[in-house]
Amino acid sequence: MSDMTFEKMINQMTPAIYQSLKQAVELRKWPDGRYLTAEQTELCMEAVMRYEVENNVPEENRVGYLEQRTCGAGATGQGVSPELAGLGKDATRG
């Protein structure tokens, strides 16, 4: 039986393993085409996120990163058309 713990696995993970796990989570399947179980997905996601933190992966390259969009109108939103605010035609209905 191996004495490998989750913590040791994260510390020994190579960039290639990280990329493989990240792709497996994104596609929900292993490179050989088998689908990940819910438990495997959860463990792989945790491993990927822990690797990113431990290895100082830039925030914009981390899994789940969402770029904040701004319209340049400040906190009040004055001067922003409904289209630019993401409201589209529904905001202009009367």
- Bigger pLDDT: 69 or 35? 35
Residue range 44-62, pLDDT digits in tens: 999 999 999 999 888 888 8
Q: If DSSP codes are grouped into helix, strand and coil, which group holds residue 1?
A: coil
Gap between the Cα atoms of 18 and 76, Å rounded: 42
Are 47 and 9 in contact by the 8 Å Cβ rule? The answer is yes
Query: What's the chain's length in residues?
Result: 94
More confident residue, 4 or 61: 61
Q: What tokens does 22 get?
A: 């990240």
CA distance linking residue 24 with residue 27, whole number of Å: 5
Which amino acid is present at 7? E
Highest mean pLDDT among 6-15, 33-42, 59-68, 83-92: 33-42
- Nearest-angstrom CA–CA distance, 57 and 50: 10
Which letter does DSSP use for residue 88 in this model? Answer: G
Task: Please give the mean pLDDT across all residues of the chain.
Answer: 80
Given this model, what pLDDT does residue 1 score? Answer: 40
